[in-house]
């Protein structure tokens, strides 16, 4: 009986570990994508499209306050995703792989090369057409999918290669955010841009004064989102700016938390009576412990850890489900300019070439050195996986095109290119690993 219990507990623990692992985020995205394709191509297809285009909000006299459900997901919920991305970038810049030039240069230059070459391929194929504005679509890398594939490959690739791809994807996300802010906004309103600047100044003042309450920053963050949205700049940038204003230092040192625990343990806990109902002193002690525990936590990491599961298990899968539902039976006009080939060649061919050439030049010119455990074959394989654009590419495509036919063609192109990049990258790294052995 004992062995059965242990076995059951072991299987449960393995399942929990898998669900909470980094790779599951990518797998969950894939499940949501497949589910969206199944629903969109079933008898429920028209309900699927009608639901996400339905307006949600309230009527104020003759003015409607709200968005379509699709825009609530893409503009509002995705703001929390970009807030998380901004927090991760700031953490990496202070504590991680981007905190020094020597560590950041090699993967950062790889990310720049992996953005420029795909963008040039797309723009070169579509220059002079109405679709040239979509050059930002093949520039992006989906970190969740790419890391999910990396985790599945496991021991077939060196750990340093995973760190290289993580850092590359972080810089890639930052680049994508800059591209979105600069090229995919609307008409600029000087007034609302000025209001946004004032709110950013208030956030910086709060940070310099040592304000640690996340509620204060989130309050100003909501105001910043509205002002940036009304300014004509895409509101994505508001979430990233807010992330960079979140304080890093905790309100109290961890040593204060340890001293308080030791004091309560020594002078109070041992003398307390063991009753089912807690007395007022015990309740007061628990409240104090909770407050001091919060004060000892890093605000940036606390917000990041709070947003991480919401992003991985709700926001990103919902975004994928709302945006990946393309009717396969639809008559796609692949001759609309060169959208398909621009996206497909940009992600499948441009990404690995851009990453490889940029890193090769980086080492040859002595800017930064390639990690010892990573070969040029590994770099090429990572570049192939970086061609999994999916989430960010879908996000940019929704901003790049106004015509529905172009949007649908872009979605199909992204799905095919990301799938091709995934398969080619996995097969290449597995084959290269065997040859190297």
CA atoms within 13 A on the CB side of 224: 25
**Residue 361: per-residue pLDDT:** 93
Residues in contact with 251: Cβ distance below 8 Å, sequence separation at least 6, in sequence order: 212, 295, 296
**Residue 4: per-residue pLDDT:** 47
**Residue 222: per-residue pLDDT:** 94
Q: What angle do CA 363, 364, 367 make, to 5 degrees?
A: 50
128: left (phi over 0), alpha (psi -120 to 50) or beta: left
How many angstroms separate the CA atoms of 14 and 6, rounded? 12
Q: Does 198 map to a domain?
A: no
**Residue 206: per-residue pLDDT:** 92
Residues in contact with 99: Cβ distance below 8 Å, sequence separation at least 6, in sequence order: 92, 93
Tokens at 323, concatenated: 């945006």
Q: Does 373 map to a domain?
A: yes
Q: Does 383 map to a domain?
A: yes
Q: Does 159 map to a domain?
A: yes
Cα–Cα nearest to 52, from 70, 28, 30: 70
Burial class (CB in 10 A: 0-12, 13-18, 19+), 391: buried
Q: Does 37 map to a domain?
A: yes
Q: Which residue has the higher pLDDT, 175 or 152?
A: 175
| 86-104 per-position pLDDT tens digit | 888 888 888 877 777 777 8
**Residue 352: per-residue pLDDT:** 95
How many angstroms separate the CA atoms of 90 and 92, rounded? 5
Q: Does 271 map to a domain?
A: no
Number of domain units in the chain: 1
Residues in contact with 82: Cβ distance below 8 Å, sequence separation at least 6, in sequence order: 177, 236, 239, 240, 243
Host domain of residue 76: 23-185+234-252+296-433
Q: Which range (24-33, 289-298, 406-415) has the least confidence?
A: 289-298
Q: Does 210 map to a domain?
A: no
- Residue 112 Cα distances to 12, 105, 244, angstroms: 42, 10, 21
How many angstroms separate the CA atoms of 334 and 314, rounded? 33
How many angstroms separate the CA atoms of 230 and 210, rounded? 30
Q: Does 219 map to a domain?
A: no
**Residue 188: per-residue pLDDT:** 79
Residue 46's CATH number: 1.20.1530.10
| 78-87 per-position pLDDT tens digit | 889 889 888 8
| 214-223 per-position pLDDT tens digit | 899 999 999 9
Which residues in 294-305 are b (16+ Cβ under 10 Å) and which e? Answer: bebbbbbeebbe
In the three-class reduction of DSSP (H, G, I as helix; E, B as strand; rest coil), residue 283 is classed as: helix
How many angstroms separate the CA atoms of 113 and 105, rounded? 12
In the three-class reduction of DSSP (H, G, I as helix; E, B as strand; rest coil), residue 58 is classed as: strand
| 126-137 per-position pLDDT tens digit | 998 989 989 999
Mean pLDDT over the full length of the chain: 82
How many angstroms separate the CA atoms of 95 and 91, rounded? 6
Inform me whether the pLDDT recorded for 256 exceeds 70.
Answer: no
């Amino acid at each position: 009986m004992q062995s059965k219990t242990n076995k059951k507990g072991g299987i449960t623990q393995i399942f929990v570990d898998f669900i909470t692992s980094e790779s599951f985020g990518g797998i969950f995205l894939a499940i949501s994508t497949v589910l969206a394709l199944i629903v969109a191509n079933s008898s429920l297809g028209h309900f699927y499209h009608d639901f996400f285009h339905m307006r949600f909000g309230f009527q104020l006299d003759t003015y409607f306050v709200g968005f379509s459900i699709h825009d609530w997901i893409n503009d509002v919920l995705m703001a929390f995703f970009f807030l998380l991305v901004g927090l991760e970038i700031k953490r990496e810049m202070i504590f991680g792989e981007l905190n020094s030039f020597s560590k950041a240069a090699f993967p950062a230059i790889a990310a720049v090369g992996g953005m420029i070459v795909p963008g040039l391929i797309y723009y070169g194929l579509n220059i002079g057409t109405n679709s040239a504005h979509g050059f930002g679509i093949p520039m992006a890398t989906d970190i969740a999918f790419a890391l999910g594939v990396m985790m599945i490959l496991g021991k077939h690739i060196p750990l340093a290669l995973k760190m290289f791809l993580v850092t590359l994807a972080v810089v890639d996300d930052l680049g994508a955010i800059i591209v979105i802010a600069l090229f995919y906004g609307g008409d600029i309103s000087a007034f609302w841009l000025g209001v946004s600047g004032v709110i950013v100044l208030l956030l910086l003042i709060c940070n310099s004064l040592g304000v640690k309450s996340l509620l204060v920053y989130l309050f100003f963050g909501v105001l910043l989102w509205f002002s940036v949205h009304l300014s004509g700049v895409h509101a994505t940038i508001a979430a990233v700016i807010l992330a960079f204003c979140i304080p890093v230092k905790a309100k109290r040192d961890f040593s204060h938390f340890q001293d308080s625990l030791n004091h309560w343990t020594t002078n109070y806990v041992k003398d307390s009576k063991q009753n089912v109902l807690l007395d007022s002193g015990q309740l007061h002690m628990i409240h104090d412990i909770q407050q001091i525990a919060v004060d000892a936590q890093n605000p940036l990491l606390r917000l990041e850890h709070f947003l991480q599961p919401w992003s991985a298990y709700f926001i990103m899968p919902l975004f994928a489900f709302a945006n990946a539902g393309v009717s396969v039976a639809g008559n796609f006009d692949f001759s609309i300019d060169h959208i398909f080939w621009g996206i497909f060649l940009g992600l499948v061919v441009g990404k690995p070439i851009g990453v490889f050439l940029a890193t090769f030049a980086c080492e040859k010119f002595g800017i930064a050195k390639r990690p010892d455990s990573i070969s040029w074959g590994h770099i090429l394989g990572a570049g192939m996986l970086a061609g999994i654009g999916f989430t960010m590419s879908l996000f940019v495509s929704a901003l790049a095109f106004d015509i529905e036919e172009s949007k649908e063609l872009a979605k199909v192109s992204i799905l095919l290119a990301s799938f091709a990049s995934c398969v080619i990258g996995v097969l290449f790294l597995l084959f290269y690993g065997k040859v190297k052995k």
